[in-house]
Amino acid sequence: MKRILITGANSYTGNAITQYLSSWPEKYHVSSISLRNDSWKSENFSAFDSVIHTAGLAHDSTKSSDKDSYFRVNSQLAFDTARKAMNDGVSQFIFMSSSIVYGKSASIGHEKIITRSTPLNPESFYGESKVKAEEMLSTLDGDKFRVCVLRCPMIYGKNCRGNYPVLSKIARRLPIFPKVKNKRSMLYVKNFAEFVRLIIENSERGIFWPQNGEYTNTSDMVRMIAESHGKNIAVIPGCEIPLKILARFSGLVNKAFGSLAYDMSLSDYRENYRLYDLRTSIEESEA
């Protein structure tokens, strides 16, 4: 049996992993722990095979100018947790990084495809703190303590947070939506959980870029969400120029309609973790 500890009690991804692995009670035992105070430092991690570190500050959970908070939580706390895990004899540490380490989305009308040779280019304190954490964790990696870094794109699913529920609300309420040609990598939470299961089973180490088996177009996704509720939404062409103008005043426009995608070959794995296609994942998320 694999014994797994998830840091970050009640995190969305942590809860998803716990629920998913509960389908194999004879193979996995999952516990969680909060890192909000220092009491975790007196806990003994030696009973666990893998630690999955989901604790951290999201890019919108504190003031953008509060650099110290990002680095204290996303970088130093991740390193301190990993070092304790290593010293307690845990064999694998899985760190939740982000595609944000490559910077922001390309502007509307432009494409940004990330390959293995794409340099890191964080453009926020959140992104910088993730890069710093990766650098610090790399100093602990070895054959006896395997560090996995997951540079996930946007993870979505039922009851998720972030941009997806905003688009879902729009799809359910508006009769029209702009048609924009963009390309985004996304990761359905159950595909994510299956990927985590596989890298635990295979005792992996290194950097990974999991994503769905198909790219997402924002306009198409909103249409699929509307259809899952039995609603038709008109997708209106000719909106790119007004949106480009609007993007000069709000970064949210490029965040929603810009392109940010991993090359598909970057996300290949020796076993299939993409159990759900885009339409099925939306139907389940909206059920």
pLDDT in tens, 169-205: 989 998 998 888 899 999 999 999 999 999 999 999 9
pLDDT at residue 24 in the model? 96
Q: Closest Cα to residue 181, out of 98, 267, 243?
A: 243
Residue 61: the pLDDT is: 47
DSSP E strand boundaries for the chain:
2-7, 28-33, 50-53, 92-96, 113-114, 146-150, 154-156, 176-178, 186-188, 206-208, 234-236, 261-262
Which pLDDT does position 65 carry in this prediction? 60
The pLDDT value given to residue 62: 45
What was the pLDDT predicted at 286? 95
Q: What is the pLDDT along the chain (287 residues), one digit of tens a residue?
A: 999 999 987 899 999 999 999 999 999 999 999 998 899 999 999 999 999 999 988 766 445 568 888 999 999 999 999 999 999 999 999 999 999 999 988 888 888 999 999 999 998 999 999 999 999 999 999 999 999 999 999 999 999 988 899 899 989 998 998 888 899 999 999 999 999 999 999 999 999 999 999 999 999 999 999 999 999 999 888 667 777 777 676 777 777 788 999 999 999 999 999 999 999 999 999 98
- Domains of the chain (ranges, CATH numbers): 2-161+185-214+260-286 (3.40.50.720)
Which amino acid does the sequence have at 139?
T
In contact, 16 and 191? CB cutoff 8 Å: no
194 contact partners, CB below 8 Å, separation of at least 6:
20, 273, 275
Q: Which of 107, 114, 127, 101 is nearest to 261 (CA)?
A: 114
**pTM (2 d.p.):** 0.93
> In the chain, what are the helix, strand and coil shares in percent, each to the nearest 5?
40, 15, 40
From the number of C-beta atoms within 10 Å of its C-beta (0-12, 13-18, 19+), residue 172 rates as middle
Q: How far is CA 190 from the centre of its chain?
A: 12
